[in-house]
Structure 1
Amino acid sequence: MKPIIYITQKLPEQAVAKLRDSYEVRMWHDDQSAAPREEILKQVKEAHALWSMLSDNIDRPVFEAAPNLKIISNLAVGHNNIDLEAAHDHGVMVTNTPEVLTETTADLTFALLLAAARRIVEADKTVRSGEWKSWTPMGMTGQNVGGATLGIIGMGRIGEAVARRGQGFGMNVLYHNRTRKSLEDVKYAALDELLQTSDFVVLLTPLTNETRGMIGERELSLMKETAILINVARGGVVEEAALFEALKAKKIWGAGLDVFEQEPVPTDHPLLTLPNVTVLPHIGSATVQTRLAMMEMNASAISACLEGRSVQNRVC
């Protein structure tokens, strides 16, 4: 009997084809939705490997329902959706997909920064709706990017890639991180200093107990009235209610959000009512090339584990 691999969302056939000869591949059938929790709990009863997505909540009950499970390979660099303590307790390996998505996510981060600064989405809607009647001297004016100060919170691989892009635009780049780094023309700053002096604050931290809610009412009050907050980390890093109030009261100028506390974000979410918020559906790594490369890393990790070979990109 072949070992069983369960995949919680439908993936392109080219991503799973190499696994089919050696394993029984079971995959959620609908490419417009994710496997519901009850289906995951059902499938892990027999699965030897679970190929999970960042939207899956892989908590202790999942491990308790999975006596044969040897590995979970997560289609993301982040792994806050997986209970690593439970994985360790049950002897289950966990892997992720680092590095391959660095440049792609940095591209998206900077695109979101530019879109928020220059009101790209708002301007597009103005044209399509027929609201654009004539050119006006201050119509759709945004904020300068070139020459502005970019503050990056979380200086990992993606943070460094965003810093390089900022330097290409002639920006003054600051960063705040748990550990200081030797980076050319990039200055370390304490968190409060970074918030007070940056024109753009970009969040790139993982979601941990320490970073959850790290940007709240106090931190937002330190930012310039002309500042823009960009979050491509995880929604939980920002207190969304506090962000809504700061934006509504124009205590900060705008925000660009690729992530939310709840995803998909409810259509009646208060932040979606504000014109100075640019939103995306968590697409940081969403290019064809990068997603396929991430899937290749997942497939390689699963086959290596099930065949008793050395496994790359382990987080547990």
Structure 2
Amino acid sequence: MSRPDILQLGPYPDWDQTPLDAAFTMHRLDLAEDADTFLAEVGPRIRGIATKGDVGASRRIIAACPALEVIAVYGVGFDAVDIETCRARGIAVTNTPDVLTGDVADFAVAMTLALSRELVANDAWVRSGDWSRKGAPPLGRRVWGQRAGILGLGRIGEAVARRLAAFDMTIAYSARSPKATPSDWRYIPDPVALAEASDILILTLAVSGETRHIVDEKVLDALGPNGMLVNVARAAAVDEDALIRALAEGRLGGAALDVFEGEPDLDPRIPDLPNVLLQPHQASATMRTRKEMGQLMRDNLTAHFEGRPLLTPVP
């Protein structure tokens, strides 16, 4: 029996690439010298696409694959996949939820602590000799007992909230509808009102046309000069230009960012801001989680081509 032809849109670690190559006939669009020529050649044979959350699958790529049956996303976010086209054509889409929830939640808390207590700046203070030359660095901000706002209370948002509750923080959240949560968690559907009720606003929501730039100038101003923003979701959830201006003008106290528009190329204004903590899209970046993500992606592809139910289909 011939192996299914899979279009691969980005690189994977060897521990994923080797079993992918063994189980499927992989066609590496990411290595093609001319993407259009490559797609025209292999597109008619493609039955599956293996991609990443931030890469997705555009309408152009999907259109080039008339026999496409399934798109497997390595990651929880699927906003970069043209879901409308997939639904219209009956193309299944899968992602890798749950296996990365804990690590992303840990990372959100780590960023919150690092930003509040100036851990990176203080490390540099010691290494540079400023401690001996200038004395103690500027004071940080308290975390425990503060007000946390969770914008998007899905799996990851709930895991973040549980961790922050252990810091005796009050929890408020925004979601499409109220969730079954501890009685002291407050539901605030409006993002501006949520920001007003928060000292630290943490973004864990999925991005769609409805939520793109949901964190705009109004939300940032509501969070205010003493407030902090932590984003482990998608860059598109934030109006990045408005964020840069709010930080530069002191209308927002600080931001910890793991995602950026156009990453890995940053807006050149961002690294010059003194009140930001920057990370290279690392929220799920532990070896164990990445291996589990790859396994789940492959398991979804295998299940589809064996005629079994998908493990984690996108609704």
Normalised by the length of structure 1, the TM-score is 0.90
1:2 corresponding residue in structure 2: 3
CA pair 192-2 structure 1, distance change in 2 beyond 3 A: closer
Q: 8 Å contact 2:10–2:55 — kept in the other structure? A: no
2:201 corresponding residue in structure 1: 201
2:283 corresponding residue in structure 1: 284
SS at match of 1:236: helix
5+ residue gaps, structure 2: none
Tell me by how many angstroms 1:152 deviates: 0.7
Q: 8 Å contact 2:9–2:30 — kept in the other structure? A: no
Alignment of 1:155-304 (within 5 A): 155-184=153-182, 185-189=184-188, 190-266=190-266, 268-304=267-303
Tell me by how many angstroms 1:175 deviates: 0.9
CA pair 178-197 structure 1, distance change in 2 beyond 3 A: same
Task: Provide the rounded CA distance (Å) in 2 between the counterparts of 1:36 and 1:53.
Answer: 20
Which moved further from structure 2: 53-62 or 107-116?
Answer: 53-62
Tell me by how many angstroms 1:130 deviates: 3.8
Query: Amino acid of the residue matched to residue 207 of structure 2?
Result: L
The count of corresponding residues between Structure 1 and Structure 2 is 311
5+ residue gaps, structure 1: none
Q: 8 Å contact 2:254–2:275 — kept in the other structure? A: yes
CA pair 127-2 structure 1, distance change in 2 beyond 3 A: same
Task: Provide the rounded CA distance (Å) in 1 between the counterparts of 2:264 and 2:36.
Answer: 19
Tell me by how many angstroms 1:245 deviates: 1.4
Q: 1:55 and 2:54 equivalent?
A: yes
CA pair 57-35 structure 1, distance change in 2 beyond 3 A: farther
Alignment of 1:63-142 (within 5 A): 63-134=62-133, 136=135, 139-142=137-140
Query: Amino acid of the residue matched to residue 159 of structure 1?
Result: G
Task: Provide the rounded CA distance (Å) in 2 between the counterparts of 1:210 and 1:73.
Answer: 23
Tell me by how many angstroms 1:61 deviates: 1.3
Query: Amino acid of the residue matched to residue 209 of structure 2?
Result: N
Give RMSD over aligned pairs: 2.3
Deviations for 1:271-316, whole angstroms, at most 9, x for unmatched residues?
2210101111111111111111111111011011112111121116
SS at match of 1:133: helix
Q: 8 Å contact 2:56–2:78 — kept in the other structure? A: no
Task: Provide the rounded CA distance (Å) in 2 between the counterparts of 1:36 and 1:290.
Answer: 33
2:13 corresponding residue in structure 1: 12
CA pair 201-132 structure 1, distance change in 2 beyond 3 A: same
Task: Provide the rounded CA distance (Å) in 2 between the counterparts of 1:191 and 1:10.
Answer: 36
Q: 8 Å contact 1:105–1:285 — kept in the other structure? A: yes
Query: Amino acid of the residue matched to residue 302 of structure 2?
Result: S
CA pair 48-196 structure 1, distance change in 2 beyond 3 A: same
Task: Provide the rounded CA distance (Å) in 2 between the counterparts of 1:261 and 1:29.
Answer: 20
CA pair 38-219 structure 1, distance change in 2 beyond 3 A: same
Task: Provide the rounded CA distance (Å) in 2 between the counterparts of 1:260 and 1:198.
Answer: 23
Task: Provide the rounded CA distance (Å) in 2 between the counterparts of 1:36 and 1:109.
Answer: 39
SS at match of 2:106: helix
Query: Amino acid of the residue matched to residue 76 of structure 1?
Result: G
Task: Provide the rounded CA distance (Å) in 2 between the counterparts of 1:35 and 1:141.
Answer: 52
Query: Amino acid of the residue matched to residue 25 of structure 1?
Result: M
2:309 corresponding residue in structure 1: 310
SS at match of 1:255: strand
Task: Provide the rounded CA distance (Å) in 2 between the counterparts of 1:125 and 1:40.
Answer: 47
Task: Provide the rounded CA distance (Å) in 2 between the counterparts of 1:82 and 1:57.
Answer: 4
1:150 corresponding residue in structure 2: 148
Deviations for 1:211-250, whole angstroms, at most 9, x for unmatched residues?
1111111221112321111111111111111111111111
Which moved further from structure 2: 104-113 or 48-57?
Answer: 48-57
Task: Provide the rounded CA distance (Å) in 2 between the counterparts of 1:135 and 1:35.
Answer: 54
SS at match of 1:126: helix
Task: Provide the rounded CA distance (Å) in 2 between the counterparts of 1:182 and 1:57.
Answer: 31
CA pair 28-37 structure 1, distance change in 2 beyond 3 A: closer
